[in-house]
Structure 1
Amino acid sequence: MKKSVAVLVVGFVSILSLAAQQPQQAPPGREPSWAFPAINGSLPAEEPSPKSLAGSTKSYTPAQIDDLSNPPDWFPDEHAPAPSIVQKGHGAALACGACHLMSGEGHPESAGMTGFTAAYIVRQMEDFKSGARIDAARMNAIAKGLSDEEIKQAAEWFAGQKPRPWTKVIEAASVPKTFVGQGRMRFVQPDGGMEPVGNRIITVPQDQQKARLRDPHSGFTAYVPVGSVAKGKALAETGGSGKTISCSICHGDGLKGLGNVPRLAGVHPIYVARQLYLFKEGTRNGGDAQLMKKPVAKLTDDDIVALSAYVASLTP
């Protein structure tokens, strides 16, 4: 059954001007910077006084908010009691709730954790621990620092969290100029300005200050190229005449997941793009990863942008 996808199309450009804006295809093995953010700027330091959020009885100083071993839990009544490792890290094993938030929705530079089965989450952690799945900046060290019981408890807790719409997908010819700041999050340049979106996905907080506070109620906006959602929909549904396969064969109706195969609907688009590149490059491995090797082998940069934009636009 066909599903309608509502997106906001910003601006109008001719075919010629769109073509002129498209950067060259990334060479094999290259990680595009929009998908793999690296810090290239910083925000002004926060005043050290305690911060608060509307509707929360909690307050935290900026130092407490940025403590990756003891993250803020602004709305503890909104979730079941969390296992210790979700809220309290130890050594290299940072608290899960720091990057993935206490809602489980996470930030684009990390990952959302909701809507997956516990078995799927455990399998990913085992792959990080063994090195079959590589994230040298964070997850390999974290996984190695966790016990099997901690992984099991965290996986079961996150599996119990319900996913909700978290990223608003907007098709646009031009996007705000941005930089990557603390925590590898992308922010809008304070002095303003616009630039062509090109063949990128630019994801920024809907409310920059709330994102810095790790507000579990404040999501993100993903700017994607004009026409990319429709292109991604066609590719996901038909396989593109043999270029890949229909995503729903494995990921289920509405791409909401099927058994221990993860959902794609509503997942952070730059996270999806990163995984597609990593599958292609061979840096995401493990038993189930082998199933993705053939479907991604022929995907171009354009295809990855389009698929990532489309799945992110779906209701989780």
Structure 2
Amino acid sequence: MLPAARHLLETEARAIARASERLGDDFERAAGLILEAEGRVITTGMGKSGYVARKLAATLCATGTPASFLHPAEAVHGDLGLVQSGDVLILISKSGATEELIRLVPRLQQAGVACIGILGKTDSPLARVCQAVLDAQVDQEGDLHNLVPAASAIVAAALGDALAVSLMKARQFGPEDFGVFHPAGQLGRNLRLHVRDAMHTGDAVAWVTPETTVREVVIAMTQRSLGAACVLNPDRSLAGLITDGDLRRALEHHDDIRTLRAADVMTARPLTVQPAATLREALVLMERRPRQLSLLPVVDPHGCALGILRLHDVYQAGLGKSQP
């Protein structure tokens, strides 16, 4: 079973790489048609290509390009009203000769719609009616009998994603814009909310000094179960951070911890985050490291300690009050 699975994935990866090498003037032309269009993008396709077209419409909408999916069979039964002059039509077809699409194109051209093709054959009937064609041909699908539309669907989807990302760059569509289009869901919350919206402050945090005994640190951390204590200098600047892991390591290396102070076991100059940072930025700080962090001290621009943000808080933000 595993050899068949690996063969499929490797086939798809090679097919995408070849599609990337074929990108050229038609890709630039396709992006230009969409950027200059007065209307929206309409995607269409039958069967598996139809699912790819639906996905492309959703991706375009999420990245700043208004788009809708049009089912080609339903179009001639009233859904053609969705299409207006100035729209751009993206046709997705492995064969480039899908009957339902061929019947649809003349009616849409009469309405003044420009056509872009994501096609498996560039010398096909549909290719001849398009102003730009993205070459989605594949040598093989990747399954044992070369029947399942696997690589061809993946390449078509990848070309659609490449088009969407290129349009994002051209429109200077950034994380803030993405957050506006994704107000719900974890990604949207991480882009929309900030550290100050989820952090723990005041009495909820264990505050200690460099001279606090380890015993007192343990008591303070137990009373405030955030999994860490902030070590403060007299001016409330952050001297260090003590986590549960720091305490375990202290026990490993010392037979008697009664004489130890916070300064002896703390992590000096820990990684910190400021309250104005987005939760996404905080998440990147915690996770994109060889050893992932489960929390961050929060400091102001002058290094004054304000509180603690936990990974748990990032995932709970926006879902209701975070529970320690």
Where relative contact order (Cα < 8 A, 6+ residues apart) is larger, the structure is 1
TM-score by length of 2: 0.22
Higher share in helix = 2
Higher strand share: 2
